[in-house]
Amino acid sequence: MNNKLSLYLLLLSLSVVSCVTTRLIDYSQISVPQEGGYQFKQITSEEQIIWGPRVINNGGKLQWFTGSMFDVSDDGGYIVYIGVTAPDQKEGNVYVRSTTGGRSSVQRTFGISATGPCFSPDGNSISFSGTFPGQEKSNICMVNTNEGSAIQHLTESQSGVASAPVFSSDGQRIFYTRGIPSTTYSGTTPITTWKYYIWSMDKNTSIATQYVEGSSPEYVPGDKLLFTKSNTTTSQGEIWMLNLKSGQETLILRDNVRGFSTPKISPDGKRVLCVRSTPGVKPQDTNLDIFIVNIDGTGFQQLTFHPGNDNSPCWAPDGKSIYFLSQRGNAQGSYNIWSIDLVK
């Protein structure tokens, strides 16, 4: 991923307990015994060089981009993801491909570094966070899914860094995260910290609205938002629900020693997929896994246990299966998109 851009992407600091025993990570495993009963299907291949979220492990303290790195269209026919044509390429591009098979992908962006793509409800547009070469500011952008190469910049007049866009159900509003830097000095050394807020942009009026402090919004029918918020005491990511009409915030998931991010609502509105850090045998073995929970916070269940990172979960339109990014199935630990059926 573009190193300059990655410095500005959303990072959550998560603390875990470490031990002294070592183990080797076998990324080539498709599944591990704890995942028994689930059938894993690989959707993409290593030749496509797919970007996953940047994950930093500093002695068991994980930091990662909390937004999703790919999306599935509402009709279930297509996937949009960020990829490159060579391993050393610094700018990621938006690609679209079918979910039903084949290896053909269509590149939809050129000359702009992209991340966090999502489909509009009708599937005709793709929104993403884009940064032009040489710039540090990213905007929420939009491009046609099927034709042309014109890119519309929706947040160009705003300061800060915009990322992780999602559409409202009617496609008229785009919710996103806006990061605002603040620089202080320790002697002559500048120290930059970031705060992140949930915003929306109305496509028709271009009116931007700020809501709450947090990141990785997920629109929920009924004018609500799921989002990730960092606990100021524990420094762990938590999953919250915001009622856009009343302003009421409701806690969904919290853990004092492990963090959550990237909530995704099920098609029936009853369950939430999310990412959580999982402590390893040693700090460097700590990884990300996919979890599921009822919308009221009950029925918490771990879905993936692979020692590689599993993240960026997405629901299939029928709610019976999910898609996610995983480092499994190849010796190098490269990211690919995988799916599993939730009904064993």
What is the pLDDT, as a whole number, of residue 10? 41
> Does the pLDDT of residue 160 top 90, yes or no?
no
Reported as a single tens digit per residue, the pLDDT across 163-193 is: 999 999 999 999 999 999 888 888 888 888 8
What is the span of the domain harbouring residue 256? 3-341
State the average pLDDT over residues 77-83: 96
> Does the pLDDT of residue 90 top 50, yes or no?
yes
> Does the pLDDT of residue 151 top 70, yes or no?
yes
What is the pLDDT, as a whole number, of residue 78? 96
Look over the chain and give the mean of its residue pLDDT values, rounded to a whole number: 88
Reported as a single tens digit per residue, the pLDDT across 240-285 is: 999 999 999 999 999 988 899 999 999 999 999 999 988 776 666 7
Q: pTM for this one?
A: 0.90
Domain count, the chain: 1
> Tokens 């076998």 appear where?
26
pLDDT bin (cut points 50, 70, 90) of residue 12 is very low
> Does the pLDDT of residue 1 top 80, yes or no?
no
What is the pLDDT, as a whole number, of residue 20? 27
Reported as a single tens digit per residue, the pLDDT across 19-54 is: 223 346 889 999 999 998 899 999 998 888 999 988
| Pairwise pLDDT comparison (186 vs 129), residue with the higher score | 129
Looking at the DSSP bridge assignments, the partners of residue 172 are none
- The percent of residues above 70 in pLDDT, for the chain, comes to 91
What is the pLDDT, as a whole number, of residue 269? 96
pLDDT bin (cut points 50, 70, 90) of residue 330 is very high
Contact 291, 273 (CB under 8 A): yes
State the average pLDDT over residues 315-326: 97
What is the CATH classification number for the domain harbouring 316? 2.120.10.30
Reported as a single tens digit per residue, the pLDDT across 191-232 is: 888 899 999 999 989 999 999 999 999 999 999 999 999 998
What is the pLDDT, as a whole number, of residue 344? 63
What is the pLDDT, as a whole number, of residue 248? 97
Query: SS3 sequence, the chain?
Result: CCHHHHCCCCCCCECCCCCCCCCCCCCCCCCCHHHCCCCEEECCCHHHCECCCCEEEECCEEEECCCCCEEECCCCCEEEEEECCCCCCCCCEEEEEECCCCCCEEECCCCCEEEEEEECCCCCEEEEEEECCCCCCCEEEEEECCCCCCCEECCCCCCCEEEEEEECCCCCEEEEEEEEEEEEEECCEEEEEEEEEEEEEECCCCCEEEEEECEEEEEECCCEEEEEEECCCCCCEEEEEEECCCCCEEEEECCCCCCEEEEEECCCCCEEEEEEEECCCCHHHCEEEEEEEECCCCCCEECCCCCCCEEEEEECCCCCEEEEEECCCCCCCCCEEEEEECCC
What is the pLDDT, as a whole number, of residue 117? 97
What is the pLDDT, as a whole number, of residue 102? 67
Angstrom distances, CA of residue 165 to CA of 62, 89, 138: 23, 24, 12
